[in-house]
């Protein structure tokens, strides 16, 4: 469950909040599109939800934890339950695809055997297992994006946040990602996806959070996400 009550966020050194008075709740295991024009605050909201930034006002609960009053140790543990696909991928250039994807599990102290098994499972899920030994800089944009998605999915996060996760993907790959989101929801993961891709939203109608000028324009409830099954190719 995600719950925000009158949350504002003002980055350090900026005179005014970039997010203002956000109140919203997303039950566990549900999907939301995060929509709004460029500059509306989508990435800023995702940065709040990934705990990269803290609210400057209001209350925020994530996965049953009150972020507002949490200790650093609590936030560190909470962060490990969240998967994030950043808009710019943030892959480590000197590392292989495998090591990039394995990082979240290694940080959790998983055994090398479990790490290998899980990393190859998500690499295969995202169709990048054949690139495991390559460095990110040698990959296409779409391959890098799928690597970033694999890294976000390893360890089965309870909350998956994705910032424009299809902008480097071909249409078929983007549709396949929708099926992946559907599978995550069925496993009880909450999924929030910021996108400008109207065709994709049309393909999978779902409730959405619409931002405008740093505040919520509406939460548009159109029913649950419904990706047609059998599209995975
Ligand atoms: N750290 C920061 N310092 C100053 N301004 C910021 C900071 N972070 C965000 N902003 C401003 O907040 C506004 C919202 O930015 P944000 O990147 O969240 O929008 P967005 O909806 O994700 O846009 P896009 O769709 O283009 O990615 C912008 O005007 C941006 O310049």
pLDDT tens for 146-203 read 999 999 999 899 999 999 999 899 888 899 899 999 999 999 999 999 999 988 899 8
Q: Are residues 76 and 163 in the same domain?
A: yes
Strand order in the sheet with 82-85: 82-85, 159-163, 190-194, 31-35, 208-212, 215-220
CATH of the domain at 167: 3.40.50.300
The last residue of one of the domains, among 139, 156, 173, is 156
Q: Are residues 4 and 76 in the same domain?
A: yes
Count how many Cα atoms sit within 13 Å of the Cα of residue 155 in the half-sphere of its side chain: 24
How far does the centroid of ligand 1 lie from the alpha carbon of residue 46, in Å?
11
Residue whose CA lies nearest to ligand 1 atom number 12? 18
Taking alpha carbons only, the member of 77, 63, 74 closest to residue 107 is 77
- Whole-prediction pTM: 0.91
Residue whose CA lies nearest to ligand 1 atom number 25? 38
**Looking at the 3D structure of the chain, how many domains does it have?**
2
Answer yes or no: is pLDDT of 46 > 70. yes
How far does the centroid of ligand 1 lie from the alpha carbon of residue 172, in Å?
30
Q: Are residues 187 and 137 in the same domain?
A: no
Q: Which pLDDT score is estimated for 233?
A: 29
Q: Are residues 73 and 166 in the same domain?
A: yes
Taking residues 111-123, what's their average pLDDT? 96
Residue of 18, 40, 162, 209 best suited for mutating to test ligand 1, as the one with most atoms within 8 Å of CB: 18
How far does the centroid of ligand 1 lie from the alpha carbon of residue 174, in Å?
25
The last residue of one of the domains, among 106, 121, 156, is 156
Q: Which pLDDT score is estimated for 231?
A: 34
Q: Which pLDDT score is estimated for 228?
A: 42
What's the domain range around 139?
90-156
Q: Are residues 65 and 172 in the same domain?
A: yes
Q: Any residues with Cβ below 6 Å from ligand 1, and which?
A: 11, 14, 18, 36, 38-44
What contacts 79, CB < 8 A, 6 or more positions away?
Answer: 50, 51
How far does the centroid of ligand 1 lie from the alpha carbon of residue 201, in Å?
22
The share of the chain scoring above pLDDT 70, in percent, equals: 94
Residues 49-74: tens digit of each pLDDT: 999 999 999 999 999 999 988 999 99
10 Å Cβ neighbour count for 37?
13
User: What ipTM was assigned to the predicted interfaces of this complex?
Assistant: 0.94
């Amino acid at each position: 469950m995600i719950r925000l009550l009158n949350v504002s966020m003002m980055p350090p050194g900026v005179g005014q909040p970039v997010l203002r008075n956000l109140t919203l709740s997303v039950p566990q295991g549900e999907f939301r599109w995060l929509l709004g024009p460029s500059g509306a605050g989508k990435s800023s909201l995702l940065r709040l939800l990934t705990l990269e930034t803290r609210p400057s006002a209001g209350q925020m609960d994530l996965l049953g934890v009150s972020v507002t009053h949490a200790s650093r140790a609590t936030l560190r543990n909470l962060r490990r339950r969240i998967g994030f696909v950043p808009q710019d991928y943030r892959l480590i250039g000197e590392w292989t695809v495998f090591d990039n994807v394995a990082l979240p599990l290694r940080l959790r102290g998983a055994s090398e055997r479990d790490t290998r098994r899980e990393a190859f499972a998500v690499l295969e899920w995202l169709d990048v297992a054949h690139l495991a030994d390559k460095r990110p800089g040698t990959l296409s944009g779409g391959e890098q994006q799928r690597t970033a998605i694999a890294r976000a999915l390893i360890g089965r996060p309870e909350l998956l946040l994705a910032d424009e996760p299809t902008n480097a993907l071909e249409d078929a790959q983007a549709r396949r990602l929708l099926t992946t989101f559907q599978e995550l929801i069925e496993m009880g993961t909450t999924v929030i996806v910021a996108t400008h891709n109207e065709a994709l939203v049309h393909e999978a109608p779902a409730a959405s959070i619409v931002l405008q000028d740093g505040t919520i324009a509406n939460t548009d409830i159109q029913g649950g996400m419904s990706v047609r099954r059998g599209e995975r190719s």
